[in-house]
Structure 1
Amino acid sequence: MADAGNWCLIESDPGVFTELISGMGVKGVQVDEIWSLDDESMAELKPMYGLIFLFKWQNGQPQPVMADSGPSDHIFFANQVITNACATQAILSILLNRDDIDLGEELANFKEFTADFGPDMKGLAISNSDLIRSVHNSFARSDPFVNEMQDPRSGKDEDVYHFIAYLPIHGALYELDGLSQGPVNLGACDEENWTSKANEAIQNRMARYSAAELHFSLMALTRDRLEMYEEQIEELDGLLLSLAEDAEERKQLNSDRNLLQHKLQMEQEKRSRWHRENTLRKHNFIPMVYNLLRILAEKKQLEPLVTSAKQKATSRLDNAKK
């Protein structure tokens, strides 16, 4: 695979993915983690544009069998040619196959420019995009002791993880995996209820692993909840103004508005937490730690702390054995 200036490992986190998407200029969407694909959970996340699935790559694992797919020239599909790019590539697989997302000027131009490219050339175009690469690498870990995820086809023995995307395209559910030969058509689906078919496909993938394997993650690309709740509150305010005489209906609308206001506040708090976590991810703490250790050593305080820590560790091990 090409390095294209080296691409860092991206952590599987909805706050990271949401900021990454925003950094590429896309507007009006966010990413949320999913704990269940039941109908009630899915209804809470509508409108949903696609799913991003993380799983542990198994060497020699079988490629999914393609259904009767028909022509796929209407699908943006790119081969992964960049080490560690699968997270961003899964995100792009959803963004660039939806007509109802505001991509922003640069990503919209990229989609138009690569429209007639084959999968390999689309992959190379992603690797050579300054915008995509710079936003992706803005999440590079500053810790030199962190081992970067290895490429699934590198033949190494370490556990490696891979992201793929599921989304409906023109009446069919597709699995888009940059390490596959092409887009996988999983059959016809309803635009409103496609997640039930996606759930089946994901469960089938998970069934290939042992019962002890828990290294899976599922996230949804949805409409920006802040934007959506603010619009819904504004709409309710307009209805409340027009129903001055109807006390019962006003009571129900006020109840609905209070619920939306609560959801909006929870979302604002979540965004604030995401922002803080992303800031910490990007900050280089190495100089601070180095200087702290140096000062402790100069004051003859480092060795006693190390000795104390060793004693505590030994004590915990002894207690665990009892």
Structure 2
Amino acid sequence: MAEQRWVPLESNPDVLNKYIHDLGAPSKWQFVDVFGLDDDLLAMVPQPVVAIMLLYPLTEKVEGSPIGDVDTGVLEKAYFIRQTIRNACGTIALVHALANNKDKIEFDDSKYFTKFLESTKTMSPEDRAGFLEKDSNMGNIHEESAQEGQTQAPSREDEVNPHFVAFIHQDGGLYELDGRKDGPIRHSDSTPETLLQDTAKVLRKFMDRDPENINFAITALVQN
């Protein structure tokens, strides 16, 4: 069977917010830009921060220097889905950010994300990926959001280098959720209050692997 491909998402709060609100997140929950990792710039980000999304380039330098270790033990508590659709990393990261904060975000049950979570909550990460491949509702919402960017959306056939991952707090730790990996990656101890600052430390390591590359974009899911 031919590989399934979606149109890549843009790392743009307007795009991401349309997406999560179409899925059923209340308007008070929004993605905002994180303009830098210095303390002064981090202090400008509204609190509480419940998830951070990073868009970064998958270069040889990056791929050759992995950071953190997979912790499959946290799968009993964390929602994790594998990525089997090309260019769907933006949706995978959004699902990770939202699903792991369902105790904080009161989703509109008339919108689709509640049904998606209910349908997949007991599945393995691989079975969730298979469900998403066949899920026209999520595919259509992704497609609509991908066309909302400030630049013309790439073709679904394009080979894109940037990759989205999400960072969350779970069970006293800071976890990176990347659908290409075998499970969540634990980076450090953390708390809900220090999630942004703890993630910033890890993001500096990401950037240090390829310091000449400036193609990084950071957004935070906050309650305004």
TM-score clears 0.5? yes
Alignment of 1:116-127 (within 5 A): 116-127=122-133
Letter in 2 for 1:164: V
For the aligned residue pairs, the C-alpha RMSD in angstroms reads 2.5
Q: Does the 8 A contact of 2:49 with 2:195 survive in 1?
A: no
Summarize the Cα distance change of 1:21–1:190 in structure 2 as closer, same or farther, 3 Å threshold: same
**Could you tell me which residue of structure 2 aligns to residue 148 of structure 1?**
155
Bigger strand fraction: 2
Cα distance, 1:159 vs. partner?
Answer: 5.8
> Using the alignment, how far apart are the partners of 1:70 and 1:139 within structure 2?
33
- In the alignment, structure 1 residue 214 sits paired with structure 2 residue 220: no
- In the alignment, structure 1 residue 171 sits paired with structure 2 residue 172: yes
TM-score, normalising length from structure 1? 0.60
Q: Give the 3-state SS of the residue equivalent to 2:130 in structure 1.
A: helix
Identity %: 25
**Could you tell me which residue of structure 1 aligns to residue 141 of structure 2?**
135
**Could you tell me which residue of structure 2 aligns to residue 21 of structure 1?**
20
Q: Give the 3-state SS of the residue equivalent to 1:45 in structure 2.
A: coil
Bigger helix fraction: 1
Cα distance, 1:104 vs. partner?
Answer: 2.4
> Using the alignment, how far apart are the partners of 1:208 and 1:220 within structure 2?
22
Which of 78, 83, 96 is the matching residue for 1:80?
83
Which runs of 5 or more structure 1 residues have no equivalent in the other structure?
A: 152-157, 226-322
Q: Does the 8 A contact of 2:24 with 2:108 survive in 1?
A: yes
Cα distance, 1:129 vs. partner?
Answer: 2.3
- CA displacement 1:11-59 (0-9 Å, x = unmatched): 1111010011111122131111111234454444101111000111124
Which runs of 5 or more structure 2 residues have no equivalent in the other structure?
A: none
> Using the alignment, how far apart are the partners of 2:137 and 2:42 within structure 1?
32
Please identify the structure whose Cα radius of gyration is greater: 1
Letter in 2 for 1:10: L
- In the alignment, structure 1 residue 65 sits paired with structure 2 residue 57: no
**Could you tell me which residue of structure 1 aligns to residue 117 of structure 2?**
111
How many equivalent pairs are there? 213
> Using the alignment, how far apart are the partners of 2:126 and 2:70 within structure 1?
22
Summarize the Cα distance change of 1:191–1:146 in structure 2 as closer, same or farther, 3 Å threshold: closer
- CA displacement 1:105-142 (0-9 Å, x = unmatched): 23123212211211111112222223211111013549
- In the alignment, structure 1 residue 100 sits paired with structure 2 residue 100: no
> Using the alignment, how far apart are the partners of 2:70 and 2:153 within structure 1?
40
Q: Does the 8 A contact of 2:71 with 2:186 survive in 1?
A: yes
> Using the alignment, how far apart are the partners of 2:172 and 2:204 within structure 1?
21
Which structure ranks higher in relative contact order (CA pairs < 8 Å, sequence separation ≥ 6)? 2
Summarize the Cα distance change of 1:150–1:192 in structure 2 as closer, same or farther, 3 Å threshold: farther
Cα distance, 1:147 vs. partner?
Answer: 4.2
**Could you tell me which residue of structure 1 aligns to residue 46 of structure 2?**
45
> Using the alignment, how far apart are the partners of 2:86 and 2:72 within structure 1?
28
